[in-house]
Structure 1
Amino acid sequence: MKIGMFIKNFAIGKEFSKNGIPTKSGAEFHCENHALQLIEHGDSVYIMTKKKYFFTKGREILNGIDLCRLHAPFRWLESIIRLITTHRNTDCFYIIGTPHFAVWAILYARMFNKPTTLVITIKEEVFEKQLNWRNKILASCTNYIAISQEIKDELIRKTEVKSSQVHILPQGVDSNRFIVVNEQVKRELRKKYKLPEDKPIVLFCARLVLRKGVDTMLKAWEIIHKNNQEAILIIVGGGENHLFDQIKAVSQKLGNSIILFGEVQKPDEYYQLSDLYFFPSRMEGLPTTMMEAMASGVPCVASDIGGCRDLIAPSEAGVLVEAEDYNTFAKEILNFIDNDSLRKESAAKGRQYVESNLDCYKLLPKLRNILQNKL
């Protein structure tokens, strides 16, 4: 099967923006992971995206993916030319988000009776059908994928598509990569990263922006440190430079109990050495980092918002707290730190839920059926 994927930004050519935020978004990870899984399955995949910088190539093979960067101001025209020349005979179209140039692929697909699938990865991407002509075309796809129940409900309400066209399908996680390790390995990993072997370690692994609840995290940590000065908070992820400075200042005030690791390529071992995952985000689609934590056997204390709710409520892999309620966050984290049996029980339930419901390779057949309009 030949699959054309369309996304606004992909491998733009710079790792960080001027203010320190990583340029690779959750949608891009979603696109890349699905592309690689489909290729591994035996499908042919190409990606069309915006060309943002002059120094990036118009077309290249990146990790086995045929990547085409479309030139402004005629991306729509270039995409059509490619579809009838270099990328003809596409069997189905997979659109991530709502890139403007993708509407022409939808029209092309409709002309040749090819199925189109549009995936929404965050509620704020859901569009009003009647707002403009582009949105009317986006609302004419064959199928839609929502990665959470909240997104599905919003999509049906705003676009007027039929419920039967909208499929809830998590992006999933590789449960063979993110694994539970024993105590000996956990201690060795802590030695490797120069962390204390015998102290409780709480992990925050996400982009450092206010939307992720960094301010809530710091307020909660002040309370946690006051009650348990042994606890360590490790922060993994890139983000806004001024927030790094703020975190360093708070850490100094709290006995250097917060350790910043910055952006890392593979967070696997940081999950494995941690006792608890702290995720006070204000807004999510379906947080990949939380799925990775669950797969690694790390219980979660997270905001009671769409996406987080889809993971914690059915799995019992942790607890949900009202977003911004730093007092309750601190209370629940201290409870997990002090309750070894609760941590182990939540960890086991989270891992089991991932294996049964969130393994990306088990979800792949459903994705392929949706793309081919076989459901």
Structure 2
Amino acid sequence: MSNKINTYKILFIATIESHILNFHIPFIQYFQNKGCEVHIATKLENRQDELKKLGVVYHGVDFERSPYSFSNIKALKQLINIMKRNKYSLVHVHTPVGAFLGRLAAKITNTKPVLYTAHGFHFYKGAPLKNWIIYYTMEKIAAHWTDGLITMNEEDFNIARKFNLRRKDAVFYVHGVGIDINKYCVNDEEKRKKLREELGFSEDDILILTVAEINTNKNHKQIIDAIKILKNYTDIYYLIVGTGEKEEKLKNYVLLNNLENRIIFLGYRRDISEILNAVDIFALTSLREGLPRAIMEAMAAGKPIIATNVRGNRDLVRDEVNGCLVPVNNIEETAKAVAKLAENKMLRTKMGEEGKRIIQDYAIERVLKEMDEIYSLYL
């Protein structure tokens, strides 16, 4: 794509503000560096100062994450008005509800082209039937209004290829949203020791970390239950970074099982790279994933991974190579994986090095090149 396309207006759409700010800043800046005016349409929450600093034009849309909410009719009308007021050269939609309504509004206003990035279809092998009925149907319908569909894992790519898109052969595979590998490759023994001391741990303690919203899908309980049955391993601790709707319930569960000294809730943190440097193992036992950035960050930091054997996780974690894949809700297998890694520092180091090698394909520089090739087809 030429360096200057400054007559273009680009619109990014996502149901929630945090999705844009957590995952799409490099792609917004990509267009800004080419002289484009970038617009954001999302449900505004409490991070508008960050949007202002980005230099984007942002539009508040009353999205609801549930596809059943009648409020989304209002959101659709708002999107139609935004598209009527602005002649966009490209619309890039994200998240299930935002993507569906964004494509419908583009269809109604004859706004083209429209790209859709699927960060993990809500229908997948083993998903509840209602997910297939609702989300699969939504995607099948919206495919007719889609000029390009971008996927991030093998399972989604194979499903997407069966959709009838507006353009033929317009399903793409990219290596996620990209990460700044150098940011997480800290490897500073002095900082590691200092942070462990601040958190109340010695160098001999084994620290497992999960960075994720505390909700049903992220399934923190699987690691908690594994630690519960490892009664002889008193030096294993589980650190949870994140907040969420199930936080109080999970804290109560920990108290009921007398694990409050082994399970540490750290809340919302901005020093993820430093915490990764200080821990020994990273865990993500989700029920479903698209392509989890948290695992990518842990791999960049050289940590062995314990993850459930689900779509997205298994795209990143190669069993017995850079971590251990365990079945969803299989506590015994999870406990075995924890014990295996806790007992063997050499294995942890070896798996961590393999992870650092594998994650090179997911570097932000590579993903930007992949996206540049896709954007060039449409602008």
* Partners of 2:115 and 2:373 in 1: CA distance: 11
Aligned residue pair count = 348
CA–CA distance in 2 between the matches of 1:43 and 1:266?
32
Query: What corresponds to 2:368 in structure 1?
Result: 364
- Report the equivalent of 1:319: 324
Deviations 1:58-99 (A, max 9, x none): xx73533321113675544443443344x33x3211111342
Amino acid at match of 2:210: F
Q: TM-score, normalised by structure 1?
A: 0.81
Distance 2:26 2:270 in 1: 14
Q: Per the alignment, do residues 156 and 82 of structure 1 end up closer, same or farther by CA in structure 2, a change over 3 Å counting? A: same
Residue in structure 1 matched with residue 106 of structure 2 by the alignment: 106
2:227 paired residue among 221, 225, 235: 221
| TM-fit CA distance, 1:4 | 1.1
Q: 1:230 to 1:250 in 2, by over 3 A?
A: farther
Q: CA RMSD in A?
A: 3.2
Tell me, yes or no, if structure 1 residue 352 matches structure 2 residue 345.
no
Tell me which residue corresponds to 1:332. 337
Which one scores higher on RCO, CA 8 angstroms, separation ≥ 6?
A: 1
1: CA distance, partners of 2:359 / 2:193: 24
Contact 1:94 1:371 in 2 (8 A): no
Work out whether 1:68 is the aligned partner of 2:59: yes
Please tell me whether residue 308 in structure 1 is matched to residue 299 in structure 2. Answer: no
| Superimposed CA distance per residue, residues 199-248 of structure 1 (whole angstroms, 9 cap, x where no aligned partner) | 11111221112221222122101123x13111121111112233342354
Q: Quick one: which of 256, 259, 270 aligns to 1:265?
A: 270
SS in structure 2 of the partner of residue 366 of structure 1: helix
Q: Is the 8 A contact 2:186 2:274 kept in 1?
A: no
Q: Secondary structure at the match of 1:139?
A: helix
Distance in 1 separating the partners of 2:241 and 2:283: 12
SS state at 1:196 partner? coil
In 1, distance between residues paired with 2:137 and 2:378? 31
**2:11 corresponds to which residue?**
4
Aligned to 1:173: 179
- CA distance in structure 2 between the aligned counterparts of 1:137 and 1:255, rounded to whole angstroms: 47
| Contact 1:304–1:321 (8 Å) recurs in 2 | yes
d(CA) in 2 for partners of 1:231, 1:326 = 16
**Are the counterparts in 1 of residues 11 and 41 from structure 2 also a CA contact under 8 Å?**
yes
Asked if 2 retains the 8 angstrom alpha-carbon contact of 1:180 and 1:295, the reply is: no
SS of structure 1 residue aligned to 2:40: strand
Give yes or no for contact 2:205–2:235 (8 Å, CA) kept in 1. Answer: yes
The answer to whether the 8 Å contact 1:46/1:66 transfers is: yes
Select which of 42, 49, 57 maps to 2:42: 49
Change (3 A) 1:40 1:250: farther
1:16-54 per-residue CA deviation (whole Å, 9 max, x = no partner) reads xxxxxxxx45x7633445334544676432111246x8x
Alpha-carbon distance, 1:287 to partner: 0.8
Residue 197 (structure 1) aligned to one of 197, 200, 203: 203
Q: How far apart in 2 are the matches of 1:75 and 1:254?
A: 44
Q: 1:178 to 1:130 in 2, by over 3 A?
A: closer
Of 72-81 and 364-373, deviating more is 72-81
Q: Secondary structure at the match of 2:227?
A: helix
**Stretch of structure 1 that moved more, 193-202 or 332-341:** 193-202
1:317 deviates by 1.7
Bigger CA drift: 339-348 or 257-266? 257-266
What is the aligned counterpart of 1:246 among 246, 252, 267? Answer: 252
Q: Deviations over 1:129-175 (max 9, x none)?
A: 9947x953443311111111111223334x34488321111112111
Amino acid of the structure 2 residue aligned with 1:5: F
Cα gap change, 1:37/1:267 in structure 2, threshold over 3 Å: closer, same or farther? farther
Asked if the contact 1:106–1:138 (Cα under 8 Å) also holds between the matched residues in 2, the reply is no
Contact 1:106-1:137 at 8 Å conserved across structures? no
Cross-structure match for 1:119: 117
Unpaired segments ≥5 residues, structure 1: 11-23
What is the TM-score normalised by the length of structure 2?
0.80
The CA deviation at 1:268 is 1.8
Question: How far, CA to CA, are the matches of 1:69 and 1:255 in structure 2?
Answer: 41
Separation in structure 2 between the aligned mates of residue 214 and residue 122 of structure 1, nearest angstrom: 20
C-alpha deviation, 1:117, in angstroms: 0.8
For 1:164, what is the secondary structure of its paired residue? Answer: coil
Give the conservation status (yes or no) of the 8 Å contact 2:204–2:235.
no
Q: Is the 8 A contact 1:315 1:353 kept in 2?
A: no
Alignment partner of 1:207 is 2:217 = no
Q: Pick from 27, 30, 45 the counterpart of residue 34 of structure 1.
A: 27
**Quick one: distance in 2 between partners of 1:192 and 1:41?**
45
The answer (yes or no) to whether the contact 1:123–1:154 under 8 Å persists in 2 is: no
- Closer, same or farther in 2 for the Cα pair 1:324/1:181, shift >3 Å? same
Measured in 2, the distance between the counterparts of 1:266 and 1:247 equals 27
